[in-house]
Structure 1
Amino acid sequence: MFLRPLIRAVTYTRWLHLAIGAIVPLAAGLVYPGLSSPTLGDWLIAAALPIPLVAAVALIPSARRAEGLQARLMLFPGKHARERSAAHAEGAATGISATPSVSWADKGRTALWLVFRMEAGLLAWLLTIWLLQCTLTLLDTAVEEPVIGSLTPPAGMGSVALAPLPLLALLAVIVAGGRLDTRVALRLLGPSVKERMTALEERTERLLERNRIARELHDSLGHALTLAVVQAGAARAAKDPEFTDRALATIEETGRAALEDLERVLMLLRETGRRPAGASPGLDEAARLLDSARSSGARVEAEITGPVEELPGPVSREAYRMLQEALTNALRHAGEVPVDVRVAAERSRLRLRVTNPLPEGRPPAVPGSGSGLRGIRERAALLGGEAKSGVKDGEWRVSVVLPLR
């Protein structure tokens, strides 16, 4: 367990990342005060002299991006490592930002990081050189040739035995310094509050888009399959060639519309950059839904009032899907029963209501249950409206109210 960090490639890339930070103070020290025979004061001057210059570099927005990319590459294990740590998941995914500075807070954190990296790199470099010199000094200790037959050990054997200790200390410095460097990088190069909010908003948008696509598939394909099953069953029971022809025509038309919806949704999932062939249907095409339901044997009475063709696009499209799901539920769970549809486009809101008698011999469904009804509520909530479903006066009722502004 203690030797595991020593066999990981990332341990040494972290040490290299630290050592690179020593380049600036070493170059400054060569200019002044000179490093021919440096004292402790000379090293302190070399460490302090470049601080204003390094802090000024942090004012460049792209400096933060460059440091973030370098930290991701050198401080976290990749495919070449023997294992992946929790720090890798945190750093590569969300812990290290690779975007330019957008605020003074970002620039300030970048300046602190550059100064830390420079000072820590210089310290790591000095410790490395000093520990290696200690090892070489111990190995260079003169070893006296023993007199033949003498039992006295050579004078330098004690120093030779101590020679591995500085190397072990150096390995400990490399491991500890790399871990410290990684933790400070996560703290100073981590995403700002604005970046976290942006990432959260993007993730929310992706989830909402996935939910919308899932609802599209559920409503469109569910409606088509329900109609196909109902039509096929009705045709088998009727044993009438003319009715069978009408049922097959309805199944064909519904299946073709479902394939168009499926192609449009799959194009969105593939993210081809092309616009889908044909927009989603709106409430002004509700007649197609009503005709499909009637052709399956249901007795649909519909009343549509108001200028539905002038409804806002999102409201019209979502109301169409809600009506589709409500009709599908009625056909799937109630069978050939009278269905009453009321759509009213008012000045400030759209009202949609679908009612049907409860089928005999079947227990009423739990209000609000089922993925389809949940999808209706979600669609209404996204538009700032409200959807309710349940039993009222012996009938199953789905009612939706959507604001138009």
Structure 2
Amino acid sequence: MPAPPPLLETLVRPLVRAVTYTRWLHLLIGAIVPLAGGLIYPGLSDPGVVDWLIAAALPVPLVAAAALLPSARRAEGLQARLMLFPGKHARVRGTSEAASGEVDTGISATPSASWTDRGRTALWLVFRMEAGLAAWLLTIWLLQVTLVLSGVSVEEPVLGSVTPLAGAAALAPLPALALLALVVAGGRLETRVARRLLGPSVRERMAALEDRTERLLERNRIARELHDSLGHALTLAVVQAGAARAAGDPEFTDRALATIEETGRAALEDLERVLLLLRETGRRPAGAGPGLDEAARLLDSARSSGAVVEAEITGPVEELPGPVSREAYRMLQEALTNALRHAGPVPVEVRVTADDSRLSLLVTNPLPDGRPPAVPGSGSGLRGIRERAALLGGEAKAGVADGTWQVTVALPLR
């Protein structure tokens, strides 16, 4: 079956979407208040233009006062989300909206938290009431015009009498088409105004931005944890396996396998701890992660891979603040991993100095083949070291100095 012309498809598509008519119903509901008030005064038995203007103006103070209730904004937001936007009730085929059943409405559904929110809610309620009354009047009038052009007499036209013309029956579909166009245009206009007046306030946007930033920071932290922990374990396993195969010594092979087992077990513990965070089960991880006071285990695992590690740790590292101690451990782990990965089992010097206000970390190793890396400091591990240091208000550098590769970290303790 050939596809319809693009122009015809553009004109017809809104008419087969359920959301078009839920929007129109939402708009017409706004006419209830002025119609009910108009029945009381000035009365709608034989209304004229002035009567309709009075019926539209009298409820404005009452409607604006209702917007002072914080819950009014929430009620209007929920109703607008349900009736003005495509959802599971809408016929939206072949789009992401149909697949998920949800769209980003841009409508807030929280109670008013400021006078600005109340003012915007009042404007929305007044707009909805006035636009709803206008839509109701035009709907009734266009239907009456259609009947008149079709030869049916109408005793009390809503907006004045319509004189039928000779041979006007052929024009009868025009008011109906105009009504359909009004339904589509009115719904789109109401949706646009709803986004403007019921959209998130500045405070809500700032809160959402802060929440998104927190989530991104948490994801980056988890990614760094996985990279450092698993990367270190895999690097040691690869180096140990290669050294054992090259040595051909059963005793060395046993030591290498024991080191791989211990490193793998520690990596599995770190992986389980991170997965608990990702699952968001409400359980707290079994441990917060190793700190710098456990650096001896880290240094021993590097030595077992064949590297000659000279370490000098001075100062009360066991008394460091928890976040500083844990992040410093991860930075030392990544620096040792990089040395083993890129330079092999070479001599490595580690200097850790802690005092009352500062923690300094220096890891030095010879350059592989005497040549610096092609792009110094470009790896994700080194970038993670710099990010960890920056989050703690410190600084990290990596590069060539005095013919060696150096990773330098300085962290404030206060």
TM-score by length of 1: 0.93
CA contact (8 A) 2:81 2:105 kept: no
Query: Is 1:118 the counterpart of 2:132 in the alignment?
Result: no
Report how far residue 214 of structure 1 moved: 0.4
Q: Tell me the alpha carbon deviations over residues 321-352 of structure 1, each in whole angstroms, 9 at most, x when there is no partner.
A: 00000000011111111100011112211100
How do 1:303-318 and structure 2 match up within 5 A? 303-318=312-327
How do 1:111-260 and structure 2 match up within 5 A? 111-141=122-152, 158-260=167-269
2:117 corresponds, among 98, 103, 106, to: 106
Instruction: Judge which range, 215-224 or 33-42, deviates more.
Output: 33-42
* C-alpha distance in structure 2 between counterparts of 1:141 and 1:78, whole Å: 40
* C-alpha distance in structure 2 between counterparts of 1:365 and 1:249, whole Å: 35
CA contact (8 A) 1:384 1:403 kept: yes
CA contact (8 A) 1:72 1:92 kept: no
CA spacing shift, 1:94–1:372, aligned 2, 3 Å: farther
SS in 1 for 2:364: strand
Q: Could you tell me which residue of structure 1 aligns to residue 158 of structure 2?
A: none
CA contact (8 A) 1:353 1:400 kept: yes
Q: Could you tell me which residue of structure 1 aligns to residue 403 of structure 2?
A: 394
Matched AA of 1:401:
A
* C-alpha distance in structure 2 between counterparts of 1:94 and 1:254, whole Å: 49
SS in 2 for 1:302: strand
CA spacing shift, 1:247–1:398, aligned 2, 3 Å: same
CA contact (8 A) 2:399 2:407 kept: yes
CA contact (8 A) 2:335 2:363 kept: yes
Matched AA of 2:92:
R
Q: Could you tell me which residue of structure 1 aligns to residue 296 of structure 2?
A: 287
Report how far residue 314 of structure 1 moved: 1.1
* C-alpha distance in structure 2 between counterparts of 1:336 and 1:324, whole Å: 15
CA spacing shift, 1:94–1:206, aligned 2, 3 Å: farther
Which runs of 5 or more residues in structure 1 are unaligned? 143-154
* C-alpha distance in structure 1 between counterparts of 2:379 and 2:181, whole Å: 60
* C-alpha distance in structure 1 between counterparts of 2:357 and 2:347, whole Å: 30
Superposition RMSD on alpha carbons, in Å?
Answer: 1.9
Q: Could you tell me which residue of structure 2 aligns to residue 375 of structure 1?
A: 384
* C-alpha distance in structure 2 between counterparts of 1:279 and 1:94, whole Å: 39
SS in 2 for 1:353: strand
Matched AA of 2:91:
A
* C-alpha distance in structure 2 between counterparts of 1:365 and 1:320, whole Å: 27
Matched AA of 2:133:
L
* C-alpha distance in structure 2 between counterparts of 1:85 and 1:134, whole Å: 41
* C-alpha distance in structure 2 between counterparts of 1:390 and 1:185, whole Å: 55
Query: Is 1:81 the counterpart of 2:52 in the alignment?
Result: no
Instruction: Judge which range, 26-35 or 361-370, deviates more.
Output: 361-370
Q: Could you tell me which residue of structure 2 aligns to residue 23 of structure 1?
A: 32
Matched AA of 1:137:
V
The number of residue pairs the alignment matches comes to 390
Report how far residue 50 of structure 1 moved: 1.0
Q: Could you tell me which residue of structure 2 aligns to residue 277 of structure 1?
A: 286
Q: Could you tell me which residue of structure 2 aligns to residue 261 of structure 1?
A: 270
Q: Tell me the alpha carbon deviations over residues 6-27 of structure 1, each in whole angstroms, 9 at most, x when there is no partner.
A: 1221111110110011111111
SS in 2 for 1:66: helix
Report how far residue 364 of structure 1 moved: 3.2
Q: Could you tell me which residue of structure 2 aligns to residue 45 of structure 1?
A: 54
Report how far residue 124 of structure 1 moved: 0.2
Percent identity between the aligned chains? 83
CA contact (8 A) 1:366 1:390 kept: no
CA spacing shift, 1:63–1:92, aligned 2, 3 Å: farther
TM-score by length of 2: 0.91
* C-alpha distance in structure 1 between counterparts of 2:329 and 2:374, whole Å: 23
CA contact (8 A) 1:77 1:85 kept: no
* C-alpha distance in structure 1 between counterparts of 2:216 and 2:39, whole Å: 56
CA contact (8 A) 2:276 2:285 kept: yes
* C-alpha distance in structure 2 between counterparts of 1:82 and 1:219, whole Å: 46
SS in 2 for 1:95: coil
* C-alpha distance in structure 2 between counterparts of 1:269 and 1:166, whole Å: 59
CA spacing shift, 1:403–1:363, aligned 2, 3 Å: closer
* C-alpha distance in structure 1 between counterparts of 2:152 and 2:241, whole Å: 98
Report how far residue 367 of structure 1 moved: 2.1
CA contact (8 A) 2:143 2:176 kept: yes
Which runs of 5 or more residues in structure 2 are unaligned? 1-9, 154-163
Q: Could you tell me which residue of structure 2 aligns to residue 150 of structure 1?
A: none
Q: Tell me the alpha carbon deviations over residues 64-90 of structure 1, each in whole angstroms, 9 at most, x when there is no partner.
A: 11111111111112242235699xx9x
Report how far residue 270 of structure 1 moved: 0.9
2:43 corresponds, among 21, 34, 43, to: 34
